[in-house]
């Protein structure tokens, strides 16, 4: 078995909770951790990672065409997650680099659960009311009369892996009428999860609550802008557990300021990591969590296992599971 050099890039969780994942990688070769600015240039990133032929990658930085043009032999980028929009797949394929992801089902329940958890926290003003208790102001409790999720009309944008879990839970657990918008799913597929298939405009006009669960693509980038917010019901609630760039942040801020949006919960931002001066944080009815929807012990263990196994399979001359463009690349030890 060849010795490899493995880079853990921009992951704050891989190997931290489960050291056994690092121990398994160390049997393959040298392991090093790197943290880069999310906007680092491709050439600079390639220079920093010279000599590393296996990469365990987070949602940032961006592995661009420029990166692959300047990178020496890179066998694999295994994503510590299910998305790969930060990797230029065409360039990776051209340079014989495999890209693999975690199977969607590994994250499904954890991310769907957190989308609803954050949503409920906003609708019931959980954080604000706890802050009053900490300030020894229990008597202020009448200020925290929230809204129930039960029986609401909820629109789920993107009824794939996570979205189907959200739809299922809302329909079966909260007795919601669920409207689903997903161009890649048929009405029959959505009905399996308790959702009625509708177009985006109808969802925006009818939903009391909107859950964003779509993948980030060229067509979904900034899909919720000022025009789309204007079409929503007054005092709508939104929860985003997918990608921050699905929304135009300025449109959300304006909606919060005007009261059009009654509450906004998001686990993701367009530029991560977020900082304390982010405009969302000026609003008490906005909840921002640091991209932790997949952060359950069960989910992180399986995600780490998948990334390590991918590296082990490359070392053995085998294709990793869930390789995004595996059909075009022949891997040898």
Instruction: Give catalytic residue positions.
Output: 243, 272, 291
Coil, helix or strand at residue 133? helix
Cis peptide before 266 (omega within 30 of 0): no
- State the DSSP H helix or E strand holding residue 93, giving kind and residue range, or none if neither: helix 89-94
- State the DSSP H helix or E strand holding residue 134, giving kind and residue range, or none if neither: helix 126-134
Q: What is the spatial distance between Cα 198 and Cα 143, in angstroms, rounded to a whole number?
A: 36
Find, among 231, 268, 271, the residue nearest to 251 by Cα. Answer: 231
- Residue 141, both tokens: 């409790």
Burial 132-169 (b: 16+ CB within 10 A, else e): beeeeeeeeeeeeebbebeebebbbbbbbbbbbbbbbb
């Amino acid at each position: 078995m060849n010795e490899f050099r493995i880079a853990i890039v921009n992951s704050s969780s891989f190997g931290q909770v489960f050291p056994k994942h690092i121990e398994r990688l160390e049997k393959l070769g040298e392991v090093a951790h790197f943290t880069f600015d999310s906007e680092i240039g491709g050439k600079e990133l390639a220079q920093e990672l010279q000599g590393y032929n296996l990469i365990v990658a987070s949602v940032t930085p961006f592995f661009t065409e420029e990166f692959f043009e300047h990178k020496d032999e890179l066998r694999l980028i295994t994503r510590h997650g299910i998305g790969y929009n930060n990797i230029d797949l065409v360039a990776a394929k051209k340079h014989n680099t495999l890209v693999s992801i975690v199977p969607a089902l590994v994250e499904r329940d954890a991310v769907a659960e957190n989308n609803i958890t954050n949503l409920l926290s906003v609708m019931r003003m959980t954080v604000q009311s706890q802050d009053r208790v900490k300030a020894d102001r229990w008597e202020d409790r009448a200020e925290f009369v929230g809204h129930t999720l039960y029986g609401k009309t909820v629109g789920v944008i993107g009824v794939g892996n996570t979205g189907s879990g959200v739809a299922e839970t809302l329909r079966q657990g909260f007795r919601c009428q669920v409207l689903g918008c997903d161009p890649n799913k048929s009405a029959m597929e959505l009905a399996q999860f308790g959702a009625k298939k509708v177009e985006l405009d109808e969802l925006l006009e009818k939903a009391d609550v909107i859950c964003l669960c779509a993948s980030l693509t060229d067509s979904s980038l900034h899909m919720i802008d000022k025009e789309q917010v204007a079409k929503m019901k007054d005092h709508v609630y939104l929860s985003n557990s997918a990608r921050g760039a699905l929304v135009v942040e300025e449109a959300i801020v304006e909606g919060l300021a005007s009261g059009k949006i009654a509450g906004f919960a998001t686990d993701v931002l367009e530029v991560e990591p977020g900082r304390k001066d982010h405009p969302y944080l000026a609003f008490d009815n906005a909840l921002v969590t640091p991209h932790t929807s997949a952060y359950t012990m069960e989910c992180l263990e399986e995600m780490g296992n998948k990334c390590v196994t991918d590296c082990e399979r490359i070392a053995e001359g085998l294709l990793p599971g869930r390789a995004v463009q595996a059909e075009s690349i022949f891997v040898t030890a």
